[in-house]
Amino acid sequence: MRGRDFCRGCNSQRVFIALNLGFSPLANRLVEAENLESAEPWYPLVLRVCENCCLGQLGEFNSDFEIFRDYPYLSSTSSTWLESNKNFAKTMIEQLNLQTEDLVLEIASNDGYLLQYFQQSQVEVLGIEPALNVATIASINGIPTSPEFFSENLAKKLITKIKSPRLVIAKNVVAHVPDLRDFLRGISVLASSDTLVVFEAPTITNIINKMQFDTIYHEHFSYLSASFFDKILPEFKLKLSGIEKVETHGGSLRFFITTDHSGVELPKTVITSLHKTLLEEQSVNLTDLSRWEALSDLVGKSLIEFRNWVLNSNNPMIGYGAAAKAVTLLSAAQIPRDSILFCIDNSEGKINHFMPGHQIPIISEAEFKLNYEVNSYNILIFPWNLKKEISERIRSFAPNSHIFVALPKVEEV
Ligand SMILES: [Zn+2]
């Protein structure tokens, strides 16, 4: 099995167990009220690392179709997120001097949250989005969107109909692709010498350096690094040409990729940052088993502390943000059911559903205000990466409550 018996990046069999988090249900599979009685499957959640290419990875267990066809996440719900995407589009338009006749293609374009900003500057856009419900919303909003999985086959079909894009964007998608090599072959088909490809993904080094082990969940197949792309891309006639560090998801890398004979000029800062990041990753020593054993000890201790804190809470516990990382944290810490009364989340697709595994009801802020506001709670923010924005929000509607994050350690915000 790919990701378990051999590496999904380089096919090597030299993969070792880096971190074992026990069992967990599929983190993005929300439960509907009528299905509460039926048992959900839980699967082993084990991170492996390849000694050859240093890719962190999870084994597969389920078809792409089941995981992605009805994906509840609409990225346009966060204002900070939209602002950073607007800035990114502006920078790319200036840097590449994009004109009306140029094409920007985004893979996993969601509801058009990013492409809209290119479109507003009259640059041609095309979105590829496998989640049918989300692709439909994008099309209704006027963003041309193809409801498909990106693959080498799709790229070959597309390139007969479209010009080679000046910019290909895949933000927070590469890590979720089951067949990574096929995906990279597809990128290679689309890219010409004046194409810039931008990937964005959380970096595996943050799992070690910042205890971000709750970013591990089944739909997140690959845990990426500059070292991995630097090593693997030449096989696909591509090259890692620059790196930018961004704040998304508590610290992500933006990978600037070109063809191996590229005419794209990149700013000096991203080229310098690439060399720096490669050196930093070497010092973290991602392929050193003892490094991961030390982390496993720390994670074990942190989970026990978190569990004790939940069980001894002086106030009723509720959550904020029904994110995938919540499912990993609650499962790995073996938090008993009903310890968290409900979870507040304003995403349309999540309200009135239940979080996987612990089946915690998801309610909106409006419902909280209506039925629960007067009480005092301990509110745990699951997406710690957005704690500033979320805690300000919580204070506005739950002034009597105490606000916490669980990682890297339990802390009042
Ligand atoms: Zn490998």
Interval between CA 54 and ligand 1 midpoint (Å):
6
Q: Which amino acid is at 75?
A: S
Please state the φ and ψ torsions of residue 171, each to the nearest 5 degrees: -95, 130
Top pLDDT among 290 and 67 is at 290
Retrieve residue 333's tokens.
């810490």
Q: Is 252 helix (H, G, I), strand (E, B) or coil?
A: strand
Q: How far is the CA of 257 from the centre of ligand 1 (A)?
A: 19
Residue 230 Cα, ligand 1 centroid: separation in angstroms? 12
- CA 7 – ligand 1 centroid, Å: 5
pTM attached to this predicted model: 0.91
Residue 398 burial (CB count, 10 A): 23
Mean pLDDT of 322-337: 94
Q: At 30, is the pLDDT very low, low, confident or very high (cuts 50, 70, 90)? A: confident
End-to-end CA distance of the chain: 42
Distance 285 CA to ligand 1 centre (A): 15
* Confidence category of residue 148, pLDDT binned at 50, 70, 90: very high
Q: How far, in Å, from the CA of 217 to the mean position of ligand 1?
A: 19
The rounded Å distance from CA 231 to ligand 1 centre is: 9
Q: Are 291 and 208 in contact (CB under 8 A)?
A: yes
Q: How far is the CA of 182 from the centre of ligand 1 (A)?
A: 15
**Structure confidence at residue 61 (pLDDT):** 66
Sheet holding 252-259, edge to edge: 145-146, 124-128, 103-107, 167-171, 196-202, 252-259, 238-246
- 349 CA → ligand 1 middle, Å: 36
Which residue, chain included where needed, has tokens 């988090």? 21
Q: Which residues contact 18 (CB under 8 A, 6 or more apart)?
A: 47, 48, 49, 56, 289, 292, 295
Residue 303 Cα to ligand 1 middle (Å) = 29
Q: What average pLDDT does the segment 261-267 reach?
A: 92
The radius of gyration of the chain from alpha carbons, rounded to an integer in Å, stands at 21
CB 316 within 8 A of CB 340: no
Distance CA 134, CA 285 (A): 39
Query: Residue 338 region, left (φ>0) first, then alpha (ψ -120 to 50), else beta?
Result: left
Distance 172 CA to ligand 1 centre (A): 20
d(CA 189, CA 319): 44
3-state class (DSSP) for residue 191: coil
Report pLDDT for 166.
98
Where do the H-state alpha helices sit in 160-204?
A: 180-190
C-alpha 234 to ligand 1 mean position (Å) = 14
Ligand 1 centre to CA of 183 (Å) is 15
Q: Compute the distance from residue 238 Cα to the ligand 1 centre, in Å.
A: 17
pLDDT of residue 11: 96
**What distance in angstroms lies between residue 114's CA and the mean position of ligand 1's atoms?**
31
Q: State in Å: Cα 22 to ligand 1 middle.
A: 23
pLDDT digits 0-9 by tens, 351-408: 999 999 889 999 999 999 888 877 889 999 999 988 988 999 999 988 889 999 999 8
Number of H helices, E strands in the chain: 13, 17
- Ligand 1 centre distance from Cα of residue 48 (Å): 10
287 CA → ligand 1 middle, Å: 11
CB 123 within 8 Å of CB 101: no
258: left (phi over 0), alpha (psi -120 to 50) or beta: beta
Over the stretch 336-347, which tens digit does the pLDDT of each residue have? 988 999 999 988
Task: Round to whole Å and give the CA distance between 334 and 337.
Answer: 9
Give pLDDT, residue 394: 92
Produce one character per residue of 310-320: b if its CB has 16 or more CB atoms within 10 Å, e if not. Answer: beebeebbbbb
Find out whether the peptide bond into 408 is cis, omega within 30 degrees of 0: yes
Å from CA of 266 to ligand 1 middle: 28
d(CA 90, CA 114): 11
